[in-house]
Amino acid sequence: MATETIIKSCNDIITVRNFNAWYGDKQALKDINITIKENKISAIIGPSGCGKSTLLRSINRMNDTIPEYRISGEICFEGKNIYDSKIDLTIYRKKVGMVFQKPVPFPMSIYENVAFGLKIHGVKDKQKIDEIVEISLRKAALWKEVKDELHKSALTLSGGQQQRLVIARALAVDPEVILLDEPTSALDPIATQRIELLLEELSEKYTIVIVTHNLSQAIRISDYLYFMYQGELIESGKTSEIIENPQNQLTEDYLNGRIG
Ligand SMILES: Nc1ncnc2c1ncn2[C@@H]1O[C@H](COP(=O)(O)OP(=O)(O)OP(=O)(O)O)[C@@H](O)[C@H]1O
Ligand 1 pocket test: pick from 20, 54, 64, 70 the residue with the most ligand atoms within 8 Å of its Cβ. Answer: 54
pLDDT score for 2: 40
DSSP 163-229: HHHHHHHHHHT--SEEEEESTTTTS-HHHHHHHHHHHHHHTTTSEEEEE-S-HHHHHHH-SEEEEEE
Residue 66, φ and ψ in degrees, nearest 5 = -80, 115
How confident is residue 103, by pLDDT bands cut at 50, 70 and 90? confident
Q: For residue 46, which atom of ligand 1 is closest to its CA?
A: 21
45 Cβ inside 6 Å of ligand 1: no
Measured between alpha carbons, how far apart are the two ends of the chain, in Å? 40
pLDDT score for 66: 97
Which residue has its alpha carbon closest to ligand 1 atom 29?
Answer: 49
Which residue has its alpha carbon closest to ligand 1 atom 23?
Answer: 49
How confident is residue 216, by pLDDT bands cut at 50, 70 and 90? very high
Contact of 76 with 5, CB cutoff 8 Å: no
Q: Provide the 10 A C-beta neighbour count for residue 179.
A: 27
pLDDT tens figures, 23-70:
999 999 999 999 999 999 999 999 999 999 999 999 999 999 999 999
Q: What is the mean pLDDT of residues 234-259?
A: 96
Contact of 191 with 112, CB cutoff 8 Å: no
83 Cβ inside 6 Å of ligand 1: no
In angstroms, how far apart are the furthest CA atoms of the chain? 57
In one letter, which amino acid is 92? Y
213 Cβ inside 6 Å of ligand 1: yes
Rounded to the nearest whole angstrom, what is the distance from the C-alpha of residue 49 to the centroid of ligand 1?
A: 5
Contact of 99 with 167, CB cutoff 8 Å: yes
Contact of 195 with 186, CB cutoff 8 Å: no
23 Cβ inside 6 Å of ligand 1: yes
164 Cβ inside 6 Å of ligand 1: no
Which residue has its alpha carbon closest to ligand 1 atom 2?
Answer: 23
The domain 14-255 belongs to what CATH superfamily? P-loop containing nucleotide triphosphate hydrolases (3.40.50.300)
Rounded to the nearest whole angstrom, what is the distance from the C-alpha of residue 36 to the centroid of ligand 1?
A: 22
Is ipTM strictly over 0.90?
yes
